[in-house]
Structure 1
Amino acid sequence: MTVLDDIIAGVREDLQARRLPQNAIEAAAREAVPARDAWLALGGGESDPALRVIAEIKRSSPSKGQLAGIGDPAALAEQYAAGGASVISVLTERRRFGGSLDDLDAVRARVDVPLLRKEFTVDEYQIWEARAHGADLILLIAAALDDAQLADFSALAHELGMNVLLETHTRDEIDRAAAVGARIIGVNVRNLKTLDVDRSVFGALAESIPDGAIAVAESGVRDLDDVSHYASQGAQALLVGEALVRTQDPQALLRDFRRVGTQAMTARRS
C-alpha cells in the first residue's frame, strides 16, 4: 500500500464515522453563505503579472511529522490575510495532517478570504460537506480519482458555486484535468507514493497546462529562491504550508513571497 492509499483508507474510515444523512448535509450546504470566487482571487482573467499565494494552515505532514502546534488556526488565518494571501488552505484530514472541520469553521468565521478545504476527496459527500462548512474551493487529486469521478466531482463543486484545484503529478494527469475543463491546475512536485520532492517537475509540466487555466505550483517552497524558481517557470500561484507555519512572521514572509514571485513573473514575460 502506498502512502496515498493509506491516507485514503483512513479518510474513508473517518468519513463513515461523521457522515450525516444525505438530506441533512445537502440542506446545510444550500443554506451556507454563497461561495467566494477563488478563481478570480487567484488572478483568473487578469493579464498583469502578480504572484498569488495559497497560504496553508498545516500542523503536520506524512513526510515531516509535526510542523507547528497552531492552537488558534483563525489567528494564523488573519495573519495570512493581512499578508496578502489570495486563498487560505485549511487542512481537514485528521490522521496524517492533524486537521479538522472545526479548523475550517473557525477560519471561516474570522476571515473573508476564499478558503480551500484541503482534503483527500474520494466521496461526493465531502463536497457537500465542504460547502456546508464554508469552503469556496476544493481539492481533487487526479492520482486518487478516475475520469468519471473527476468529471462528476468537478460538476458538483461548480453546481454548489465552488471552484476546484485539480492536482496533477504527470503530463497524463494534466491532460485528464484539461478534459474535465479544470480552470485551476496544480502541479504537485511531491510524489504522493514516495513523498520525494523534485522541484524540476513543475517546469517540465507547466507548459502542458492549457492556456487560460491558472497554474499552481505545490510543495517544495522553502525560501525566496524557490518562489523565484517556480514563478520563472510559469507558476501563477503557489501553495505554501510548511515555510509559513514555521516562520515567526508569516505576514512578512507572505509579502516577500509575493514581491519576489511577481518580479520573476514580470522578468519572464519581458
Structure 2
Amino acid sequence: MNILDQIIASKKREVALKKSIIPIKQLEQSVLFERKTSSLVHHLSNSSSGIIAEHKRRSPSKSVINQSNSVEEIVKGYENGGASGISILTDNQYFGGSLDDLILARASTNLPLLRKDFMVDEFQIIEAKAFGADVILLIAAVLTREEIKNLSELAKSLKLEVLLEVHNQEELQKSILSSLDLIGVNNRNLKTFEVDLDYSKQLAEHIPSDFIKISESGIDASESILELKEYGFKGFLMGEYFMKSKNPENEMKEFIKNMKL
C-alpha cells in the first residue's frame, strides 16, 4: 500500500468509530451549524494575492513543521498578513491536526476556512459545518464520480463551498460536476510525495472557466505565483512555506510585498 492508500484505510476506520458514538443530530445542534458561511470564491475573486494559507503541524513527507505557535497566533497572523482564506488540516494521525484546530481558527478569524482532510463519508461534511468550516476538500484520487457527486451536493445543501483536488487529466475528466466551486491541482504526487508545478500548468487549460482554479503544494517563491496567474490560477494553497517560519505573519507580508515588486 502507498501512503495515500494507508491514510484512506485508517480514515474509514476512524469515521466508522465516530459515527458509532456521535449522532448526526448532535452535530446539527452545534451553534455554528446555523452560521452564515463566508465565500472563498468571493474572497479569491477580489484578492490580489490569492493566497490560501494553511495551518499544518506536520506531514508524512516533512515530519514536524511547526509545533510551537498556537492556532490563534497563526490564523490571526495569516489574516493580518493578507491571506484570502485559510486551510486547516484536521487529520490527526498523519498531520497532527484536529477539529479543535478548526473551531479555534473559527473563533480567531472571519476569513473563509477550508476543512482540509480526507473526506470519505457524508458524516465528515456535516462535521465540517458543525465546527465552522466554509469550504470542504474532496480528493478525486480517492473518490468515485458518484461519491464526489453525493458529497458535493450535500455540502452545497449546507451552504458549504467545494474544492475538488485533482492531479491529472483523468481525475479531472471524471469529476467535473456543477456542484463544485473550485478545482485545485495538487503539484504533489500523493503516492510518491514528489512536487512539480508543471502539474498545474499542464492541467490549467483543461479546467472549465466556470470554476476558480487553485494551485496547491510546492509554491515557495512569489515568482511561481506570478507565473501560475498567467495560466488562469486565482488561488494558491501554501502551508509549509509559512508554517516553518517563526513568524508566519511577517513571512507572508514579505512574500506578498515581493509579488508586487
* TM-score of the aligned structures, taking structure 2 as reference length: 0.92
| CA positional deviation for 1:2 | 1.7
Query: Residue by residue, what CA displacement relative to the aligned partner does 1:156-192 show, whole Å, maximum 9, x if unpaired?
Result: 1110011011000111222233234422000001111
* Aligned residue number for residue 239 of structure 1: 237
Query: Residue by residue, what CA displacement relative to the aligned partner does 1:131-165 show, whole Å, maximum 9, x if unpaired?
Result: 00000000000111001111111111110011011
User: The residue matched to 2:11 in structure 1 has which SS?
Assistant: helix
**Larger deviation: 236-245 or 33-42?**
33-42
User: Structure 1: which amino acid aligns with 2:196?
Assistant: D
* Aligned residue number for residue 185 of structure 2: 187
User: The residue matched to 1:212 in structure 2 has which SS?
Assistant: coil
* Aligned residue number for residue 36 of structure 1: 38
Alpha-carbon contact 1:58-1:90 (below 8 Å) kept: yes
Query: Residue by residue, what CA displacement relative to the aligned partner does 1:114-142 show, whole Å, maximum 9, x if unpaired?
Result: 10001100000000000000000000001
* Distance in 2 between residues matched to 1:244 and 1:151, nearest whole Å: 33
User: Structure 2: which amino acid aligns with 1:17?
Assistant: L
* Distance in 2 between residues matched to 1:27 and 1:224, nearest whole Å: 43
Higher relative contact order (CA 8 A, sep 6+): 1
The 5 A counterparts of 1:57-206 are 57-206=55-204
Alpha-carbon contact 1:54-1:87 (below 8 Å) kept: yes
* Distance in 1 between residues matched to 2:3 and 2:107, nearest whole Å: 33
User: Structure 2: which amino acid aligns with 1:34?
Assistant: K
Q: Residues 257 and 210 (structure 1 numbering): CA distance in 2 closer, same or farther, change over 3 Å?
A: farther
Aligned residue-pair number: 259
Alpha-carbon contact 1:118-1:139 (below 8 Å) kept: yes
**Which of 4, 21, 24 matches 2:23?**
21
* TM-score of the aligned structures, taking structure 1 as reference length: 0.89
Q: Residues 227 and 70 (structure 1 numbering): CA distance in 2 closer, same or farther, change over 3 Å?
A: farther
Contiguous gaps of at least 5 residues in structure 1: 264-270
* Distance in 1 between residues matched to 2:119 and 2:188, nearest whole Å: 18
Query: Residue by residue, what CA displacement relative to the aligned partner does 1:12-39 show, whole Å, maximum 9, x if unpaired?
Result: 2222333311222233388431211121
| CA positional deviation for 1:74 | 1.3
* Distance in 2 between residues matched to 1:100 and 1:175, nearest whole Å: 32
Alpha-carbon contact 1:29-1:128 (below 8 Å) kept: no
Contiguous gaps of at least 5 residues in structure 2: none
Q: Residues 25 and 92 (structure 1 numbering): CA distance in 2 closer, same or farther, change over 3 Å?
A: same
User: Structure 1: which amino acid aligns with 2:183?
Assistant: I
User: The residue matched to 1:121 in structure 2 has which SS?
Assistant: coil
* Aligned residue number for residue 11 of structure 1: 11
Q: Residues 30 and 64 (structure 1 numbering): CA distance in 2 closer, same or farther, change over 3 Å?
A: closer
* Distance in 1 between residues matched to 2:188 and 2:42, nearest whole Å: 26
| CA positional deviation for 1:257 | 3.9
**Larger deviation: 63-72 or 150-159?**
63-72
**What fraction of aligned residue pairs are identical, expressed as a percent?**
37
The 5 A counterparts of 1:38-57 are 38-43=40-45, 50-57=48-55
User: The residue matched to 1:97 in structure 2 has which SS?
Assistant: coil
Alpha-carbon contact 1:189-1:202 (below 8 Å) kept: yes
Query: Residue by residue, what CA displacement relative to the aligned partner does 1:50-104 show, whole Å, maximum 9, x if unpaired?
Result: 2311100000111111111144111110000001111111100001100000111
User: Structure 2: which amino acid aligns with 1:136?
Assistant: D
